[in-house]
Every structure is written in structure tokens, then in C-alpha cells.
Structure 1
């Protein structure tokens, strides 16, 4: 793990290119450090000035009496390499390069950035940038940035670390965090990432005692192993990671030579990575900061269980206390959508509420009605009863404008204070019109406050998921999936015919339809009669992956005469589809009788490695796109999660006279396919089984595609 201590906890900071004018790029860091309380030594480096903004300056790094922990470099790109060499001579441990004009400009800029990175690496200098906005440690008052945002005010000190590839986003996020009173520990922008990547900062924050939650903005990733290691470190430390990943189109996906390649586009692969490591994904800035607020301020429920509806989620029973029946229904709808149980109010508390307000609802939502204006104690008693009941893991109370009522607020304070001091009450979440002073008071006692009632309910699900992840972090690590001992394939092979692919799958223990390869029509008849009619007759050529597109598939062939005609048709398809293809014969396979079609596949992503997918299959797979993704090789548990997420599990439950199929056995096939793909190592390009037919006995592969990289394959 890169050591960021010199960057974020420096005792001595040299500002190279320091300006006497505080508002310039080279002047702003000096101003920020001087005015905002940095306690270490600040050394402006200026070629001619003996003093910069009231601080003694030196003409060059060589004039320093001691090495700087951190150098902030605000010089033109032309001076960057010489400056890095000076840093190396001086023994500087970390450097922030604001300078632009490197790889983002292409050409010579790429080469110059590579040389800058090589110099930093050779001399053990932690490099942030170039072309970045810098970094801050709010607790240590380290402001290695030229952004003026801190001059307008700082967010409160807190336990949220924020890292962004984009400087502009980082500056904006800093301002939004301040507006939202979201407590920050660190703020880092990585720019061109010649040295530190976002992943490195995440990994360091995962080990930082001052950070509890990590917010990250990603535009892309060049080193998948690095990011996976960082996310694994955060998960092991029990620290939630919230990511906003932009660029969610499929522009980065390869051409669709297979369904697997086209479906597993760039965003799907990132989502598989996020799912693997329990990342909370934020699609909007509002989500980004709301998740940060909930995860850093909210109390996690002690009662939770995995969600049956939403993979990668957990649920907790929740009490919805409301002064409005309509809003109560809105919150109940949201709870149901999130799979949050709504147990009825305990009988003793329900009896007391009905006794006080006969027309109140005690089911759940617990509606105390607008009568609280006259009887505020009824609302407070209902909240307290729910929070102290073992039936609930969280309590959400909609108060409308009641917090501002003079008769309600003092009583609410007493109730919340008592529950907070008990240490055993369920977490409280409030929704309503709450002014900033009252909100801060409630938050100081562990309660969360929202304007939007649905967001309060969503926060319950977020906290339940965080509780489950924290428990998993302290549990015994799961045994990682291993690759199978799959048969070797010829080194010069770049694709397998369907017959070769089916033979290879058989050897890996994956069930396939009975089949044989016919070189002529007579042999096709013999194979068909050995299998039993009806059969499928398919073109067998390593040059044609989608055989049905060229008329190379004939189904439900019922007798010998039809087999001969089918053989002639698929043989002609090999030469008539546009460019002549190699004809290896016809695959004759039994028609598998089932009632549903799945697809499973694995493809190699250039950044993250092997990615598996599973979902509804058949010819309409790209129309319905009911697929889920995971990093291969898959564990059995991950394969089960993917079947649920893709809705493919519904085909296994039994319907319209069809028997239920063992979902665990199907998941085992999916896991085995991914493990077989992993056995091919860097040679694998794509493995796809479509369809995987659902039958009463389980699932059977009826078609397969395997494409490879020649020789030893690509580098891992």
C-alpha cells in the first residue's frame, strides 16, 4: 500500500513556485496554510523574492536546511522534470503537481508524464497528479491545493474521506459537503494519476483511524487489480465505500461477437466489481452526499437479515410512525419496495394508543393522526414504545411541521434524550420540517433527519446493509472459488467449433445435450438414430459463431430423410453466408425438452479480468437483457446471488405444471462454468452457453461458444 503520510500528514511543506500574490495558483496554498491553521513549517520557494506572504523564502530546494515532507509544485510543465530531479536530490517524500500539459494533451505530454512517474517511483516519492487540484487533511489543516473553496468556510471535522479523479468535481463536492455539514476527514483529487490512483487513496483511507466512510468519484480505472485490492481493504475494515461512476454507456464494450461481449459492457463490469465488494453506488450528487450522511451519522440496526428480493442488500423490521395517513402509505410503499418488514405495533402499546385516540391506526404504519396538536404525548409515547420494542430494528417518524410546535418539541427532546441514553433503543429517523438548530440537536443524539419521508425509509435499508457488511467483515473469510483442472487446448487455437466446445464442457463436468459430429449425411443419420428423434442439426465451423443468422441451424428434425436435407442445408450455409468458412461437419444433438432458457457466460475484461454473467437466455437475450454479473471464478454463493438478480431464478421455481428445479444445482453449474473459464487463464477471451435449457432434471447446455487468445494469451 502506498504511504500517504508524507502527503496528508506532513510536518514540513515546501511550495515551489510560490507567489507573492495570494490569489494565484502558486500563492493560494501559502495563503491557505498560513490562514487556516497549519501547525507545521511552510517554506515558500521563489527564485528572487526573499519573503512570500510574510514567510521567509528560499531560492531553490537546494537551499533547504532539511528535506521537505511534501512539495507543492506550481510551475510550468517545462520545469516539471527538473523539479522532480531536485526533489529526489533533496530527499522529499511526497509531491503534488498542479501543472497541466501532460498526458491529457497527448503526444509529448504522454512521454513527459511517463518520465515524471518513473522519476518519482525510482526515488520513492509519493506523486499526486499532475493536472490535479491537490489534497487536504482537514484534521491536520493541511491544504495542498490551489482551490479557494476553503476560504469560504470549512465543512465540520468528521469521518468521511472524499477522493475524486476530477478536480472540478472535487471542488464542487467540497462546497456541497460544507453546505450539508457533512464532516470530512480528508479530501484528495488525483488528476492524471501518474502516481497515486483513486484506488491508492481508498486503500490508505481504509486503514486511517480518522475515516469511517469513503466517498469516491470515478471516471475510469486503468488498474483493476489495484481497485479491487483497495475495495477489499475497505470491506475488511468495515468501512462503507460510496462511488459515483460516470461514463455508464456501453461505448467501452467490444464489438458484439458474442452476447457475452456485448452485454458485459463497461458499466456492467464496474457494477460487478462494486457488487463483489459491497460498494454503495450513487447515481446522482444527491445520492452521493445522502449516502455519505446516512453512513457516517446513522446508527446501524442490531437486527437485520439478508434481503430475499434485493441481492447484496439486507433488511430490518421497521416501525413507521406518522401524523398523516397519506404519508404513512407512501412510506409503507417504499418499505415494501425495499423488502423491509412492517410488524404491527405491540399489543400493549397498541391498546394504549387506541385508548388515547380511538381512530388511530395501530397496524404499521402507526398513524397517530393530527390529534397530536391536542395530545402530543401520544406521538411521543408511540415513538418510545416502538424504539424500545424488540420487534423493530429501526423507527421512522414523520412529524410534518410538528417539530416547530411549542408543545411538541420539548417533549420530543425529552423522549429522544431518554432513548439515546438507554443505549438499547432502536435507531431513530425523522422526517419533517426541522430547522438547522433542531436538526443538529437530533443528529448529536444519533437520530437522522430528512425532509423527504421516502428517503428516511431508504436510509433504514442502507444502514441495514452496512450492518450486514460490518458483520461479514468480522466473520471468518469465505473460501475463494478455485479454477477447475480443465483440459488443455491447442496453443494455436483462437476459437472452438461447437462440437469442440461441447466436448470441452463435458470434460469439465458441465451437462450437455447428447451430441455427435457428422462428416457426411450418412454419419449424421447414424448419430441421430443413436440419440433418438427429434434432433437438431447445426453447422460446425470455428469461423461462424451465430449459426442461426446464416441458416446453419435446423431444429426438430424427425427422421432420416429430414436429417439428410438438414445436413445439406447447413453445409451450404458454410459457403453461402458471405465469405466461405471452414466446414468441419454438422453437429447432431438431441432436442432437449424444457420450459425455459438461461444463458451463462464469461468474458475477459481488459481492466478487471474475467467477468461472468447469467440470466434469461435464448435468441431474445439482448432484447430483454435480464442479466447479472460477477467476477470470475464465482463462489456458489455469488452464483446464487446472480440467479436472483437476473430474475432467472423464477424459471426454476415451478409454474404452469412444470416442476421446481433445484436452484442450488443450477448455481453450481454457473459456478463451474466460471471456474472452467478461469482454468484457461489469460488465454480465455469468451465462453458462452446459450441456451442452457431448464428441464425437470436440471439444466443442460444446448449450444456453446469458446474464443481464445493464441499462444499464452494476453498478460494478466
Structure 2
């Protein structure tokens, strides 16, 4: 069995079984516990089809039923236990569940690893007992789960069931956050398929549930709140599968930190922080990243409703010029295109919209528009080929009898018909964030409106994410994804700049031709053979940043200039680094002005080998304009990295510098990435700085490799 399949059998299949229990026992059931009372009510009043048992070592009665002292006393098989015993008693409760044939346990109890060393020991004992008995755990320190699809509400706070059990699936390490999100979903009538609170993740983590939900048709999009990823490799596999299966994955990740993933002694220094590494993973794997709970829910809802969008842009139709202007500005900030109306579309619109309405996108139908004209305009706009979605910011669906009037009702009806007739997704959104009550739900059900109550700003943000995600889906489908391949690790350990450049050249990376001169006469001969202006750099495996100590001389012409420079750079090295081994000097051609890029590598403690690409030279440390991706990467991914740089326009050409051949640049950087992987886990960091680019000329001009201890690493000066 492959490692991937085994992981799905042990983690994902366990998540599947846990979310679909045949029977549930509440361990620690008591009338004194609001958690117990709420869980009992959720299961018995929520439509759960299985048996609900009550267990407490003290026996007696709870919630109007008799309580067994142990699961064994029940005389019936227990499938899942909801454990709310004191932390010290949880492991024994899990052992009792196992004796009754249980497969899974949800542990509400707190007092484990979140409390410190003593809690760590309790959590380890719980993990050991569960492992020995075959029980799979959700938690501890969690609120449980809600499976709206099968009405298994194993949840310890009140459940507000949405009007639809298909839509967003919520997976959250924080139980409170899961509760807040599900409450907001109810308030805005967002369909939910599942809510899972994973807590301390002593066993099953969020990635197990994400991987399971990818295959659940009721989960149209998956919304994840994460403070950390306890098994990054498993999450990455799940995200890769979500991309392959076309399931939107939206993540709110906290804990932005610059502490981890540093490039040690290389130029990257403090460039690479954990948060930016995760940004790169999101870009590579098509994960939609958001920054707030409201955005998490709204974005997952929107992308779940639209699904894969065809190429094109957004059309906005409203009855307010001001709202249209806000929509246009917001779309531009989010990178969302609003294509102009075609002449044919504009001509057709003039036949149906008020005379005072201007024909452009956003389209302001004005307050004089009739309901029938709204529908007619939407039917016309749906026929324009470069519109991939239509958004109608309009009056909110009424929530009080005072808001209801015949014209508003007709407007919502005709808007809904016009949007439904379009061959692209059409959404009706309230101008501002609002709520949906029982009256509004009834109107939505009657009209069939595809209605968002999240407000214009979040709707456009969600649509921008839907367009980005759809583009990543097309890119993924349009090429064969690079598969992990068995690489033959090389025993080479390049240390000096010359060794580093020679190694890269053997791996297919274009490098500058350079000669190692052991004495001044060899340097002069090497310069003569090049026949152009040259660079002379001290050659030493112990000096990383040569220019900082005066170890580099530029733009040298003539024998005397080369002689002088050779002696000067060696003298500077001996003065500033008296213990350094000096091999001589490198003599290389002086390249014309071009764009200097930086290509770096570091090993993130969570995510593994990370490639960094940005502007090179001194700018890498000054601007910190860097794109990050986990290795391996192919040339297509490198192109996306380059396009995401703030300085990307420099590659399009500037005064005296021709536009870069991006295919050649991407191929060179991808080759550097492959070379890194061939060097194996001993490589700590790598800098290629600069990677010189001028038109179709691409060369690594300098390279630095840093090795893990006990290997001797170059020490920056």
C-alpha cells in the first residue's frame, strides 16, 4: 500500500467513520452540566437516527433517563463516545468505550496540552490508550462536530440548523471560532454541510477531515481556521488533492511569525518567515487565503456557489450610481476585471433599459427601472461572452412586514429570473452586511434567489477569489502536474563560489564563465583570453559576502588594472578574514547592465525545502520583494512567482535593457530548484545572487552554499 493511500485509510477513513456514527454515548452525562444537556438535546431533538446512551460513573438519572455507570453496562454496542469527564479520567473513559466496541471518541474535556507540561502528560496517556485500543480521537479540548447531512449533531453548544445542508464545510482548530462561524452562517442563510472543531488534535487533525470532505458532494467548499498545521505533509497532500478534484479550499491561518524558516547565513537572512512560506504554498496549491472570519465564510460561500468560472470578468448591475462606483473601485483593488459592454450588448440594452441609464459596466439601471426591465437587462448581459459572472447589488430581502411592498417583491422576482437565465453564475447581494430571518428565508425559497447577505465588499472579495481559483484550476488542468520523482542524490558538497558555480552548471543552470587564478600572472592571462572588461573576486570557501570586505573589483580593463585588483582583493581578504583559506581570485567577464534576480533556498521546519525568488543584488535585503514556493517547482510555477513580484515590471524591459525572455529565466530557476533537491537534506541554505538577466541571456554570477553541522559552513563576514 502506498504511503498516500495508507494515510487516507488511517486518517481520512477514520474521519469518515467518526462523522457518521451509528450510536452515541455521552460520557459524563449530568443534569448539572450545560454541555451534557445541550449535547443530549442536539442529538435527541436534531433528528439523529441512532441510539443515544448516557454514562456516568455515579449512575442515577440525567435528562430524564437512567444513566449507566460504564459503557459495558449498556448491553449495546457504542459506536462513538462524547467524553466530558475530568481530564484525569478521560483516558479511562476511552478504554471503557473501547470495551463496548466503539470506534471513535470526541473529547470535549480541556486540561491537556493547552495547559502546559502536566497537561502534555495527560494528553500523551490519552493518545497511548487510544492507540492501544484502536479508538480514533477528535480533540481533546474541542466542541465536537455537526454533520448536517445525516443530522448527527455531536456538538456541545446550541445548534442552529441552516436552511440547506449543502454548501460550506467548516473545519476549525478553535471551537469558539467554529461556533461563531456557524452562527454567522445561520444569520446570513449560508448553507452548511459540516462543522468540525478539532481542538488539540491529539490524533485526527484538520487535514484528515479536509481530505474526507473533498469527496463529499454536500461540501461545495471547505473553510479552514488553523493556528498551526500539526502534520504539514498531510495538509499539503489534502490541498493537492483538492486542487486536482476541483474542490475550493479557503483558509484563515493565524500565527504570522518571522521566527521560523530563516535562510541561516545566506543573503535571505530574515527574509523568509513562516507566514510568507504559507502564502507561497497557497499560491502553488490553489488555496484561497483570507484574513477574517467574515471573509472566510463569505468567500467559501461565494466560491462554493459559483464553482469553476469560465475565463472573463465580472459584470455588475445595480440601481445606484454610487454603489456601481464603489463596486468598480473595490473590484480594481481586488484585481477583478470589469470588461466593457460590447457594442452589440449596449445596443440591445438600449431597447430595454430606461433612457437615462448609461450603458457601461457597472450598469446603473437607475431608480426609474421597472422589474421587467431589470430581467430584460440581465438576459442581455448574460449573452456577452467575456462575462464569467454577474453580480447584482440591490435592496436586501425584506426581514419585516414593513419592508414588504409589491414593487420590491417584483424586483426581486425579476432579478432572480434574469440571473437564472444567464449561462454564467449570477448573484444577488445586499448593499451592506445584513441578516436573513424566517421571513427572508421564506421569500428566498419562493423566488429561488441566489442571495448573499454578506454585503457588496465581501461579495466582490469572494468573487475575486473565485476568479483566481478558477484560473489556477485551468492552469492545473492544462498541464501535467509535476510528480514527485526519485532523485539520485549527489555526494558533492560545493563550498567555494567556484565549486558552487561548477556544480550548478553540471545541473543545467547557465553560469558565468570564470577562471580560478592562483596568482597574478594567471589572472592577467585569463583576462586577456576573455578580451573584455572583467571582474576579479577573491576565491575562498570561508568568505561568503566578498563585496563587504573589499574582495570584489569591477569593470577592469588592461593588464595593469587586473594586476592591481588581484593584489588588492587578496590583501583585503587577509586583512579582514585572517583565518580564511585563500585559493586565489576568480576572473569573469563584466556583464552589461541587466536585471539582477535573487534565487535562494531555505529549509522550513514545517514545510521542508522552500525556494525564494526576488530582485537581486542589494535589493533583496532592502525591498524584501520575494516570492516563496515549496520545492519542487516547474517552469510554469516559476513564471507565476516572477509575475507576483512587485518588481515584475523590470523584467518587461527598461531604458537600455531589453525585455527578459521569461521562458529562459523560468527554466534557469527551475533548474536551480532541481539542483537543490539533488543535494539532499545536508544543504541548509543557498543563494544565487545575482542571477543576471538581459534579454535571452541568463547567468548565475555568484553562488553560495551553506551546509548543516557538523559540516563546516561558510561564515558571513
Task: Answer yes or no: is the 8 Å Cα contact 2:271–2:624 preserved in 1.
Answer: yes
- TM normalised by structure 1 equals 0.87
Q: Which residue pairs with 1:308 in the alignment? A: none
SS of the aligned residue for 1:260 comes to coil
Measure, in 1, the Cα distance between the counterparts of 2:387 and 2:656. 40
Q: Which residue pairs with 2:629 in the alignment? A: 630
Q: Are the structure 2 counterparts of residues 621 and 189 from structure 1 closer, same or farther at C-alpha, using a change threshold of 3 Å?
A: same
Measure, in 2, the Cα distance between the counterparts of 1:401 and 1:77. 48
Measure, in 1, the Cα distance between the counterparts of 2:23 and 2:478. 41
Q: Mind listing any 5+ residue stretches in structure 2 that lack a counterpart? A: 1-7, 713-717
Query: Within the alignment, does 1:488 sit opposite 2:491 as a pair?
Result: yes
Superposition pairs for residues 524-539 of structure 1, below 5 Å? 524-539=523-538
Q: Are the structure 2 counterparts of residues 176 and 420 from structure 1 closer, same or farther at C-alpha, using a change threshold of 3 Å?
A: closer
Q: Which residue pairs with 1:299 in the alignment? A: 306
Cα deviation, residue 278, structure 1: 0.9
* 335, 339, 343: which one aligns with 1:342: 339
Q: Are the structure 2 counterparts of residues 8 and 712 from structure 1 closer, same or farther at C-alpha, using a change threshold of 3 Å?
A: farther
Task: Answer yes or no: is the 8 Å Cα contact 1:317–1:391 preserved in 2.
Answer: yes
Measure, in 1, the Cα distance between the counterparts of 2:295 and 2:113. 32
Measure, in 1, the Cα distance between the counterparts of 2:240 and 2:582. 48
* 386, 395, 399: which one aligns with 2:390: 395
* 323, 329, 332: which one aligns with 1:327: 323
SS of the aligned residue for 1:212 comes to strand
Deviations 1:180-217 (A, max 9, x none): 22222221122221101111111111122332211111
Q: Choose 278-287 or 181-190, whichever is displaced more.
A: 181-190
Q: Which residue pairs with 2:715 in the alignment? A: none
Q: Choose 470-479 or 114-123, whichever is displaced more.
A: 470-479
SS of the aligned residue for 1:58 comes to coil
Task: Answer yes or no: is the 8 Å Cα contact 1:166–1:191 preserved in 2.
Answer: yes
SS of the aligned residue for 2:75 comes to coil
Task: Answer yes or no: is the 8 Å Cα contact 2:593–2:657 preserved in 1.
Answer: no
Q: Which residue pairs with 2:257 in the alignment? A: 249
Cα deviation, residue 11, structure 1: 1.5
Q: Are the structure 2 counterparts of residues 166 and 101 from structure 1 closer, same or farther at C-alpha, using a change threshold of 3 Å?
A: same
Task: Answer yes or no: is the 8 Å Cα contact 2:280–2:629 preserved in 1.
Answer: yes
Q: Choose 193-202 or 94-103, whichever is displaced more.
A: 94-103
Q: Mind listing any 5+ residue stretches in structure 1 that lack a counterpart? A: 305-315
* 359, 362, 367: which one aligns with 2:359: 362
Superposition pairs for residues 201-600 of structure 1, below 5 Å? 201-254=209-262, 256-260=264-268, 262-296=270-304, 298-300=305-307, 303-304=310-311, 316-337=312-333, 338-347=335-344, 350=347, 353=350, 357-372=354-369, 377-399=372-394, 406=405, 408-419=407-418, 422=421, 424=423, 427-432=426-431, 436=436, 437=439, 441=443, 445=448, 447-449=450-452, 452-468=455-471, 477-480=480-483, 487-490=490-493, 496-577=495-576, 580-600=579-599
Q: Choose 343-352 or 122-131, whichever is displaced more.
A: 343-352
Deviations 1:525-544 (A, max 9, x none): 33333334432222333333
Cα deviation, residue 502, structure 1: 0.8
Measure, in 2, the Cα distance between the counterparts of 1:115 and 1:274. 35
SS of the aligned residue for 1:659 comes to coil
Q: Are the structure 2 counterparts of residues 651 and 487 from structure 1 closer, same or farther at C-alpha, using a change threshold of 3 Å?
A: farther
Measure, in 1, the Cα distance between the counterparts of 2:353 and 2:190. 40
Measure, in 1, the Cα distance between the counterparts of 2:209 and 2:112. 22
Q: Are the structure 2 counterparts of residues 440 and 291 from structure 1 closer, same or farther at C-alpha, using a change threshold of 3 Å?
A: farther
Q: Are the structure 2 counterparts of residues 346 and 397 from structure 1 closer, same or farther at C-alpha, using a change threshold of 3 Å?
A: farther
Query: Within the alignment, does 1:705 sit opposite 2:704 as a pair?
Result: yes
SS of the aligned residue for 2:600 comes to strand
Measure, in 2, the Cα distance between the counterparts of 1:19 and 1:428. 47
Measure, in 2, the Cα distance between the counterparts of 1:255 and 1:603. 5
Q: Are the structure 2 counterparts of residues 180 and 400 from structure 1 closer, same or farther at C-alpha, using a change threshold of 3 Å?
A: closer
Measure, in 1, the Cα distance between the counterparts of 2:659 and 2:476. 35
Task: Answer yes or no: is the 8 Å Cα contact 2:222–2:248 preserved in 1.
Answer: yes
Q: Are the structure 2 counterparts of residues 556 and 349 from structure 1 closer, same or farther at C-alpha, using a change threshold of 3 Å?
A: closer
Q: Are the structure 2 counterparts of residues 120 and 712 from structure 1 closer, same or farther at C-alpha, using a change threshold of 3 Å?
A: farther
- TM normalised by structure 2 equals 0.87
Task: Answer yes or no: is the 8 Å Cα contact 1:687–1:704 preserved in 2.
Answer: yes
Q: Choose 677-686 or 533-542, whichever is displaced more.
A: 533-542
Q: Are the structure 2 counterparts of residues 199 and 579 from structure 1 closer, same or farther at C-alpha, using a change threshold of 3 Å?
A: farther
Measure, in 2, the Cα distance between the counterparts of 1:419 and 1:376. 10
Measure, in 2, the Cα distance between the counterparts of 1:300 and 1:193. 31
Q: Which residue pairs with 1:693 in the alignment? A: 692
Q: Which residue pairs with 2:614 in the alignment? A: 615
Task: Answer yes or no: is the 8 Å Cα contact 1:487–1:508 preserved in 2.
Answer: no
Deviations 1:470-499 (A, max 9, x none): 666777753437577675314xxxx61211
Deviations 1:286-323 (A, max 9, x none): 21121122123x3347531xxxxxxxxxxx23333333
Measure, in 2, the Cα distance between the counterparts of 1:16 and 1:650. 62
Q: Which residue pairs with 1:185 in the alignment? A: 193
Q: Which residue pairs with 2:22 in the alignment? A: 11
Deviations 1:561-594 (A, max 9, x none): 4434433443344454477333333222222213
Query: Cα RMSD between the aligned structures?
Result: 3.2
Q: How many equivalent pairs are there?
A: 691
Q: Which residue pairs with 1:165 in the alignment? A: 173
Q: Are the structure 2 counterparts of residues 108 and 584 from structure 1 closer, same or farther at C-alpha, using a change threshold of 3 Å?
A: farther
Q: Are the structure 2 counterparts of residues 642 and 76 from structure 1 closer, same or farther at C-alpha, using a change threshold of 3 Å?
A: same
Cα deviation, residue 330, structure 1: 3.1
Deviations 1:201-259 (A, max 9, x none): 11111122332211111111232211111112222332111100111231324365223
Measure, in 2, the Cα distance between the counterparts of 1:369 and 1:61. 67
Measure, in 1, the Cα distance between the counterparts of 2:318 and 2:358. 10
Q: Are the structure 2 counterparts of residues 481 and 628 from structure 1 closer, same or farther at C-alpha, using a change threshold of 3 Å?
A: farther
Task: Answer yes or no: is the 8 Å Cα contact 1:602–1:632 preserved in 2.
Answer: no
Cα deviation, residue 707, structure 1: 1.8
Q: Choose 514-523 or 475-484, whichever is displaced more.
A: 475-484
Cα deviation, residue 700, structure 1: 1.0
Task: Answer yes or no: is the 8 Å Cα contact 1:319–1:392 preserved in 2.
Answer: yes
SS of the aligned residue for 1:371 comes to coil
Query: Within the alignment, does 1:99 sit opposite 2:93 as a pair?
Result: no
Q: Choose 282-291 or 419-428, whichever is displaced more.
A: 419-428
Measure, in 1, the Cα distance between the counterparts of 2:693 and 2:263. 29
Q: Are the structure 2 counterparts of residues 525 and 124 from structure 1 closer, same or farther at C-alpha, using a change threshold of 3 Å?
A: farther
Q: Are the structure 2 counterparts of residues 110 and 527 from structure 1 closer, same or farther at C-alpha, using a change threshold of 3 Å?
A: farther
Task: Answer yes or no: is the 8 Å Cα contact 1:601–1:674 preserved in 2.
Answer: no
SS of the aligned residue for 1:514 comes to coil
Q: Are the structure 2 counterparts of residues 649 and 442 from structure 1 closer, same or farther at C-alpha, using a change threshold of 3 Å?
A: same
Task: Answer yes or no: is the 8 Å Cα contact 1:317–1:340 preserved in 2.
Answer: yes
